[in-house]
Amino acid sequence: MKSADIRQAFLSYFEEHGHTVVPSSSLVPGTDPTLLFTNAGMVPFKDVFLGRDPRPYVRAASSQRCVRAGGKHNDLDNVGYTARHHTFFEMLGNFSFGDYFKRDAIRFAWTFLTETLGLPKEKLWVTVHVSDDEAEQIWKEEMGIDPARFSKLDEDNFWQMGDTGPCGPSSEIFYDHGPEVWGGPPGSPEEDGDRYIEIWNLVFMQFDRDAAGNLNPLPKPSIDTGMGLERIAGGDRFRPAATAAPR
């Protein structure tokens, strides 16, 4: 599959499951003074998560153009040193604003990867936050993930867009490029290698972190997911993301 095919398959899949497809917003966020660039798919929906911007839909999907060249999510120093980091990329995302939560978010992701894209289950590795027993149960008992390809981590599985704002525990899905590529699974000393590449992050948005560091509950528990288009194209073709995108 070409990158354009994967993008369209993603948007069509979620549209078929009741999501409104929303166009990519500007790379320069017009209403968020805390960011220089749009660095994640959830940025255009920040005020929706906070309950300040009512929308005529409770489910959305997008392919958001992003730049990570500064701030909390800065990939600039990694470009050229890994096969998975770019400053500019497209983030495929599906979002729920007080509608579905962990179970459906996990089911949507697993079904899309293994059935729509046809990725082998044995090539995927899953992580959850160390405190998230609910997500662990869903993955192991309902999705049937192999416990040998599952990890519980701490800060790596808690996502926030910045020092303040919406945040929550997450579940990440990694693609295993095979033993011929150096690197270890998430949480191992060799995790910075390129064998196991994170392709999808499912964030269970539950909190709003204030300037004092307090975690205040959001008006409604929500879902924010992000999958790098270039990374999933690389995984689908069994080659590094840096060479997968069409020129």
144 domain-assigned: yes
CATH code of 180's domain: 3.30.930.10
The model's confidence at residue 36, banded by pLDDT at 50, 70 and 90, is confident
167 domain-assigned: yes
Question: pLDDT value at position 139?
Answer: 99
Of residues 158 and 162, the one with the higher pLDDT is 158
- Which domain range does residue 164 map to? 3-233
Q: Does the pLDDT at position 238 exceed 50?
A: no
185 domain-assigned: yes
Question: pLDDT value at position 89?
Answer: 87
Please provide the average confidence, as pLDDT, over all residues in the chain. 88
Give percent above pLDDT 70 in the chain.
Answer: 87
Which pairs with CB-CB distance under 8 Å and at least 24 residues apart come from 118-122?
Answer: 119/175, 119/235, 119/236, 121/145, 121/146, 122/146, 122/149, 122/176
Question: pLDDT value at position 80?
Answer: 58
In sequence order, what are the residues at sequence separation of 6 or more whose Cβ sits closer than 8 angstroms to the Cβ of residue 19? 57, 59, 60, 61, 94, 95
241 domain-assigned: no
CA–CA gap between residue 242 and residue 235 (Å, rounded): 11
Domain tally for the chain?
1
58 domain-assigned: yes
Q: Which of 109, 150, 113 is nearest to 129 (CA)?
A: 150
177 domain-assigned: yes
The model's confidence at residue 245, banded by pLDDT at 50, 70 and 90, is very low
pLDDT one-digit tens code per residue, 166-204: 899 999 999 999 999 999 999 999 998 989 999 999 999
What is the mean pLDDT of the segment spanning 80-97? Answer: 79
50 and 28 Cβ atoms separated by less than 8 Å = no
What is the mean pLDDT of the segment spanning 9-33? Answer: 94
Strands (E), the chain: 20-21, 59-67, 88-96, 124-129, 150-153, 158-160, 165-176, 196-209, 215-228
What is the mean pLDDT of the segment spanning 67-77? Answer: 59
Question: pLDDT value at position 232?
Answer: 87
